[in-house]
Amino acid sequence: MSFAELKLSESILKAIAACGYTEPTPIQARAIPEALLGRDLIASAQTGTGKTAAFMLPALERLATLKKGPKGAPRILVLTPTRELASQVTEATRTYGRFLRIRSAVILGGSSYREQFQALSQPLELVVATPGRLIDHLDRGTISLDRVEILVLDEADRMLDMGFQQAVEKITAATPAERQTLLFTATLDKTMTQLAARLLRDPVQIALAPQGATAVQVEQRLHVADNLEHKQRMLEHLVADNALNQAIIFSATKRDADRLAQALSSRGHSAAALHGDMNQGARNRTVRNLRQGRLKLLVATDVAARGIDVSGISHVINFDLPKFAEDYVHRIGRTGRAGATGTAISFVSVHDLGALQRIERYIGKTLPRHVIPGMEPSRSLSAPPRSPRKPRPAGVSGKPGGKTGGTGGSGQRRTGGSKRSQSANPSKAPQVIYRHSR
Ligand code: AMP
């Protein structure tokens, strides 16, 4: 199928051609015709499949023959869970809408209100927003959703995971009932189906990838790690490999991301952290540096890295395994974008067995074990830990200096449990190990 067969207007086809796309991806081929017919959609497609264009092209098509929109009342609203994804969707709007006169605004938490007030006081047609700040504007009366014709819920599953369900429902209730709703989700569980039943009208369901399917073009590997120091050595080896162009390295906590990025930088690598504690300006700069190839290694937490789409990323390294299986799929989807190949490497210690089993069950396959010659693990994954730690009283970390965080603390969201803190050698605090490794 060609894009021309999708019956998009000339200016959109021209923009697609300028991107170098020769044919629609499967999700685009299925979703665009239905969306152009005005149908509601619930589409489950894995990340990296071209889903942004799958909703953005029909949305822009609706705007292609547009008269000037009213002030602060968009016709298209795209809701995304994170600021990074919102920025990315905004960029896609500019790319695909470059030959259209479309004014868009991006409404994000952590960004200046002044600019947003200014943008919303102008006529505009399209708004990309994260739910929290959009509710804020709704409450202040600085935006009206009365004229929304198309509502897109991008990565809706993640919005629910992040606790935005009420916000999403409130925002939806502020849009006209006769709007068209396009819901994209990586996973389609009961909660999502129930949400869809409330928000969508007679939707066309498009399920391209079986739930949990991982991008086929991503080679996945598992390295058994003894402890944090072993992970450090393996990481050092991997980042020195010429085959690695750019990598996202996932850590369990924001503090770990900072420490690891610092440790890598101090060893002469071009590395930076990306996490939710950084201000929006710093986050944008970091993602821009990554996109422009000025940054080779990005050490990130799950939420921050969601939606990052940089074609140069050859490797994803799970320095820490994600606690939730869906996050594994999202993480490795940062590489192997749009037909490129990529490598996803996970460091797994004996204490991560539970998380590993959940991931392998979810993706429906066993991750192949790899060993770096000279860095063999001293024990196999199935072996029980040598000396299980006794639970400590709350507030006692057992690390020099009494600091918390460090090796563990995967409790970024959903649970506060810190399973992984048991995985590293308990006698070594991360601060000490990072210092040693410089
Ligand atoms: P997404 O799943 O929306 O994050 O898109 C993943 C990547 O696919 C992005 O880098 C897009 O630029 C690229 N892409 C989207 N549609 C196409 C297409 N039809 N042909 C080639 N690349 C595409």
Encode pLDDT of 139-159 as tens digits: 999 999 999 999 999 999 888
Residue of minimum CA distance from atom 18 in ligand 1: 21
Residue 267 belongs to some domain of the structure: yes
Closest-CA residue to 51 (of 13, 71, 21, 24): 24
Residue of minimum CA distance from atom 4 in ligand 1: 48
CB 246 within 8 Å of CB 313: yes
Q: In terms of domains, do 336 and 267 share one?
A: yes
Q: In terms of domains, do 118 and 55 share one?
A: yes
pTM summary value: 0.61
How many domains does one find in the chain? Answer: 2
**β 342-348/313-318 pair status:** parallel
pLDDT of residue 64: 81
pLDDT of residue 338: 57
Chain segment 275-290, per-residue pLDDT in tens: 988 888 888 899 889 9
Chain segment 26-79, per-residue pLDDT in tens: 899 999 999 999 999 999 876 677 899 999 999 999 988 655 567 778 999 999
pLDDT of residue 117: 95
Is the beta carbon of 126 within 6 A of some atom in ligand 1?
A: no
Q: In terms of domains, do 236 and 178 share one?
A: no
pLDDT of residue 168: 95
CB 7 within 8 Å of CB 64: no
Q: In terms of domains, do 185 and 156 share one?
A: yes
Residue 429 belongs to some domain of the structure: no
Q: What is the C-alpha separation between 281 and 283, in angstroms, rounded?
A: 5
Pick the residue with more confidence: 141 or 211? 141
Is the beta carbon of 307 within 6 A of some atom in ligand 1?
A: no
Is the beta carbon of 334 within 6 A of some atom in ligand 1?
A: no
CATH number at residue 178: 3.40.50.300
Residue of minimum CA distance from atom 6 in ligand 1: 48
Is the beta carbon of 154 within 6 A of some atom in ligand 1?
A: no
CB 417 within 8 Å of CB 410: yes
Lowest mean pLDDT among 91-105, 106-120, 153-167, 380-394: 380-394
Q: In terms of domains, do 20 and 117 share one?
A: yes
Show which of 176, 207, 238 is a domain's final residue. 207
Show which of 316, 351, 370 is a domain's final residue. 370
Is the beta carbon of 337 within 6 A of some atom in ligand 1?
A: yes
Residue 308: pLDDT band by 50, 70, 90 thresholds?
confident
Q: In terms of domains, do 28 and 169 share one?
A: yes
Residue 22 belongs to some domain of the structure: yes
Residue of minimum CA distance from atom 5 in ligand 1: 50
Residue 396 belongs to some domain of the structure: no
